[in-house]
Each structure stands twice: as C-alpha cells, then as structure tokens.
C-alpha cells in the first residue's frame, strides 16, 4: 500500500487554524485518543474524552456482517448516523438493516453480495452473501488534533474462505467546529482473480440520522422509543432538514446517479447546523464517482456501478488479477455551523494537496 503523507495542520479558510503547533500554543488543539477496546471488539475514537466514533469489529452482533464506524458524532455531540438496527430511537426509519454507520463494501464481488447482507437474510439466500471480518488491529495512534487507526480485514465467502484482503487506514481529525474522517482502503486479490460487476449497491457509504433525510410525503415504517415498528401513512417532516448539493451544482435528490467530485448533505440536527461532505479522490477508479445518494438517508459514493447509473452507456466491470491491489481514498468532513460551496471547494483543494 503506497504511503501517504498527512499534515496535522489542515488549512480550511475561516474554519481551521494554520498549524497544529499554533493550535497547541493557543489552546485550540483537541486531543484525539484512538483506543482499542478489546472486550467489546471496538476501537473507540475520543475527542477530549468524548466519543467521536468507534470502529466496530465485533462478530458478536448478528446485524453486523461487516466492519463499520458507528456512531459518528458532530463537534457538538449530535449523531449524524442512524441508530437502527443497533440502537432504538423513536421516529427513525427501520428499512435496510444492512445500512449501519459508515462502511465500504459492494453488491457484486465474484457474484457475492457483500452490501445487502444482514441478519434479515433468509437461510436460503445466505450462500449468496459475503461477510467482512476484522483480521488485525495493526496500529492505533493518538495525538493533538489527529489520531490514526490501521486495520486489516478479510472479505469472506459463505464457506469462510477469503476472497480479498483489505488494509484500511483511518485518520481522524478534530478542531473546534470540524470533525474529519479519512479512509484509505487497499483491496488485494488473493490467489484468484476477483471481479466487481457493475452494480448499484456500493461502495463507500453513510446511513444518516432522520434529521438529515430529505423531507418526503411517502408512507414509511418508523420505530417508536421501544423499537417497535409503526406504519406511518402520512409523513411528519418536523425536524427533517436534509438537502444534497454536489460539486457540479446539482441539488436535492437529483444528485442520485450523477458524477461529482464531492457531495454535501446539509441540514440541522437538534438545532445544530451540519454539513456532511464526502470527497472523492482523483486516484480512485471511476473518478469523478457516481453517487448512490437517496433522500431516505443513504449517502454513498459508487465508482464501480457505471452501467447502472449511465443506463448502459458506460460499462466498467472492474476486476483484479491474482495478488493485484487497488486503493480507494475518501475524506468525510462534518462541519458544525454555517458553511458554503466556496468553503467546501477550498477544503477539497486542500485535500488534494495533502493526499497524494
């Protein structure tokens, strides 16, 4: 895996300070602690002692068929991720039980579906599903302003044999009104070639909380405070504030199936103005990526499903030869407070300078 040089002093005009050392001197730097909690099989990421996110690698939760970051919180402590199916929260959608936290996987890897796997899959379909299991926590590093986690995972067939090896490097950054997660995942084929047939279900994704969904008038099923499912024929959109904006200027639910170098999801959570932005990187396959971003809270970059999003005008059918690798690089920024397209563009330009 090619090493990438990172600078702790991220420069976002009007948002971040000029350098980590200046932050330390002025008291602006926040301590980022990355701690492997082996008892619960999770790596906790704390900012000044408060949970920012956790890398869940447990195989003891039936719903988890992959590793994931969950929950993910803003600088002011509000959740941007949906609780279902891991937590009971009143007023949340209870669809798609495989949408948990922030993850990376795909819907057709050598004919196996890694994306849709959950404990809701019936017995007769489980031989069509793949599972991603943690192999090793290779590194945890804490620091002022940033922390790092390196983990390896196995993409497993139903019989338990490995199809792919993944090494994922996570960098976590924290400043007063910003949280950042970088994920750089290198997928390596083992003894056999591996195909990624063009598929809608992928690839780097977040399932967001109800407040960041787009308002909708369609009937849905929601959860009550006890986790009981309730049919809701007429939607109450109180507090539902999400709105997509892409780097090309496309807005709302029209971003689905379009290409863009970044997409922002703006909204308000418990009175806090929030923008969740995912950056694609020029080194990624299929750049600029297509977006599998839905109004109901699925926010996903899918570089590999080109035939689906182009109505067959483009076909990729990406593949790896035996022992061949590919790396995907994504940055997610969570802004607290007012933001703008101009600020996001400046942050994106800095991302391209830092991540080579």
* pLDDT greater than 90 at residue 208: yes
Residue 305 falls within a domain, yes or no? yes
Residue 77 falls within a domain, yes or no? yes
| Of the candidates 98, 75, 68, the residue with the CA atom closest to the CA atom of residue 28 | 75
* Total structural domains within the chain: 1
Cα–Cα distances in Å, from 152 out to 187, 188, 195, 246? 10, 11, 20, 32
- Mean pLDDT within 122-133: 96
Residue 175 falls within a domain, yes or no? yes
pLDDT per residue as tens digits for the range 71-100: 999 999 999 999 999 999 988 999 999 999
Q: Is the dihedral of CA 157, 162, 163, 164 positive or negative?
A: positive
Q: How far apart are CA 17 and CA 222, in angstroms?
A: 42
- Mean pLDDT within 261-283: 98
> Which phi and psi angles does 353 have, rounded to 5°?
-70, -40
Residue 7 falls within a domain, yes or no? no
Residue 1 falls within a domain, yes or no? no
Output the average pLDDT for the chain: 91
Domain of 172, CATH number, reads 2.70.98
- The whole-number pLDDT of residue 235 equals 73
Q: How far apart are CA 285 and CA 313, in angstroms?
A: 17
Question: pLDDT band at 123, cuts 50/70/90?
Answer: very high
Beta bridge partners of 152: 136, 167
Read off the tokens for 277. Answer: 């932005």
Residue 68 falls within a domain, yes or no? yes
Element spanning 246, H or E: strand 243-246
Q: How far apart are CA 74 and CA 276, in angstroms?
A: 9
- The whole-number pLDDT of residue 234 equals 65
Q: How far apart are CA 202 and CA 213, in angstroms?
A: 19
Q: How far apart are CA 17 and CA 35, in angstroms?
A: 26
pLDDT per residue as tens digits for the range 166-186: 999 999 999 999 999 999 999
Distance of CA 48 to the CA centre of its chain: 23
Task: Return the DSSP state at 214.
Answer: P
- Which residue do the tokens 């002692």 mark? 49
pLDDT per residue as tens digits for the range 14-46: 334 333 433 433 346 799 999 999 999 999 999
Q: What share of the chain is helix, strand, coil (3-state, %, to 5)?
A: 10, 40, 45
**Domain region containing 265:** 20-354
Confidence (pTM):
0.91
Residue 6 falls within a domain, yes or no? no
Read off the tokens for 304. Answer: 């590999």
Residue 299 falls within a domain, yes or no? yes
- The whole-number pLDDT of residue 339 equals 95
């Amino acid at each position: 895996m090619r090493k990438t040089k990172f600078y702790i002093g991220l420069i976002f005009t009007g948002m971040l300070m000029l350098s980590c050392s200046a932050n330390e001197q002025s008291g602006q730097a926040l301590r980022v602690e990355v701690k492997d909690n082996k008892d619960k099989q999770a790596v906790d990421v704390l900012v000044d002692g408060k949970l920012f996110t956790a890398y869940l690698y447990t195989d003891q939760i039936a719903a988890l068929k992959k590793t994931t970051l969950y929950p993910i919180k803003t600088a002011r402590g509000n959740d941007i991720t949906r609780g279902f199916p891991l937590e009971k929260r009143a007023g949340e959608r209870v669809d798609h039980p495989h949408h948990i936290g922030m993850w990376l996987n795909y819907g057709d890897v050598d004919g196996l579906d890694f994306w849709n796997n959950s404990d809701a899959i019936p017995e007769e379909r489980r031989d069509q599903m793949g599972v991603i299991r943690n192999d090793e926590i290779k590194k945890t590093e804490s620091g002022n302003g940033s922390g790092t986690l390196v983990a390896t995972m196995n993409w497993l067939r139903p019989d338990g044999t490995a199809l792919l090896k993944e090494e994922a490097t996570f960098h976590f950054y924290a400043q007063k009104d910003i949280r950042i997660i970088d994920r750089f995942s290198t997928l390596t084929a083992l003894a056999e070639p591996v195909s990624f047939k063009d598929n809608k279900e992928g690839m780097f994704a977040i399932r967001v909380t109800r407040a960041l969904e787009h308002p909708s008038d369609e009937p849905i099923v929601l959860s009550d405070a006890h986790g009981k499912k309730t049919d809701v024929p007429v939607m109450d959109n109180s507090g539902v504030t999400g709105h997509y904006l892409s780097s090309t200027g496309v807005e709302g639910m029209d971003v689905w199936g379009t290409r863009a170098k970044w997409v922002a999801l703006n909204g308000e959570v418990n009175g806090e103005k929030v923008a969740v932005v995912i950056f694609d990187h020029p080194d990624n396959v299929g750049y600029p990526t297509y977006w599998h971003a839905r109004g109901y809270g699925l926010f996903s970059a899918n570089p590999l499903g080109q035939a689906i999003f182009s109505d067959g005008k483009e076909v990729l059918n990406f593949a790896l030869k035996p022992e061949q690798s590919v790396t995907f690089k994504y940055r997610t920024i969570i802004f607290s407070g007012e933001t703008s397209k101009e600020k996001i563009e400046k942050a994106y330009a800095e991302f391209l300078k830092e991540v080579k």
